[in-house]
Structure 1
Amino acid sequence: MPLAISLHLLAAVIWVGGMFFAWMILRRVAGELLAPPQRLTLWYHAFQRFFPWVWASVVVLLATGLWMLFGVFGGMAGAGVHVHLMLVTGLAMMAIFLHIWFAPFVRLGRAVADEDWPTGGQQLAQIRRLIGINLILGLVTVAIASAGRYL
């Protein structure tokens, strides 16, 4: 189980940490320093590099989470409430990411390619809101993971 736990934690840190950096740091700096064409282009290319890491994190989180769920707890019946909550919040985060990937991110890419900055701004705003929700869910999940079994 040490391997599963380590991989699980690393995947969560990569995903949640990346969202924290994007939301709390890059968003503000890009908004202050860059005009819309440069800002939207920056975000699109940053997402192009970050989202493959999110995909890898999703795969690792699902695989290691199920490995631990069935290998340690013997299934959902043997898992505590904190494990159930982590599964629910994790699946919600994954669903939100899938929506981002297949909808506003694709539209942002088209808008940047077409230099349609108003549409790109709308898509980036939608992505920003969804990442904000995912960041909150991710931080809650980390808190549940680290303290949940002691409640």
Structure 2
Amino acid sequence: MTGYALANVLHVLAVVIWVGGMFFAYMFLRPVAGQQLEGPARLKLWEGVFARFFPWVWASVLVILVTGFYLIFGVFGGMGDVHPSVHTMLLLGLIMMAIFAHVFFAPYRRMRKAIAANDTEEGLRRLGQIRILVGINTVIGLVTIVVASGGRLPL
């Protein structure tokens, strides 16, 4: 497998893990958990889900950055030589990464502290913040996939 092929495959897999995980959590797990679980149980569920999912997101972010920059600069010759869709993908990806970093270091950290202190109201408030930000990131991720898969197509 060439460097280009390996980087491309790893890049796509990392995007699928991250965006697919958010889509599943937001569209399927969240509504069912909200309907079937009371506040404390819902918080414990999400604490466990995030504890398992977020390391995969960090790994995905790293893989996306390394492979993306390798493809841009190592394969295609730099930002001046890539299609405008690549510029859009990079911008959207960086926005997503910033949103994720905020989720991880602010509301997620505060949600975990609230759970440890048995403060269900505060934990649910922080979970609500995470829900909004993950929803935004899911939409941005889906738009990025559209740009990536259709970026060179005439509209």
Counterpart CA distance in 2 for 1:50 and 1:138 is 16
Are residues 1:75 and 2:78 paired?
yes
Give the number of equivalent residue pairs.
151
Counterpart CA distance in 2 for 1:125 and 1:65 is 32
Give 1:149 shift.
Answer: 1.5
Moved >3 Å (runs of 4+): none
Give 1:67's aligned amino acid.
Y
Give 1:44 shift.
Answer: 1.1
* Equivalent position SS for 1:37: helix
Q: In the TM superposition, what are the counterparts of 1:72-151 in structure 2 within 5 Å?
A: 72-151=75-154
Counterpart CA distance in 1 for 2:49 and 2:117 is 18
Counterpart CA distance in 1 for 2:137 and 2:99 is 7
Alignment root-mean-square deviation, CA? 0.6
Matched residue, 1:4? 7
What is the percent sequence identity of the aligned residues?
57
Unaligned runs of 5+ in 2: none
Matched residue, 1:13? 16
Give 1:116 shift.
Answer: 0.3
Counterpart CA distance in 1 for 2:122 and 2:140 is 27
Give 1:72 shift.
Answer: 2.3
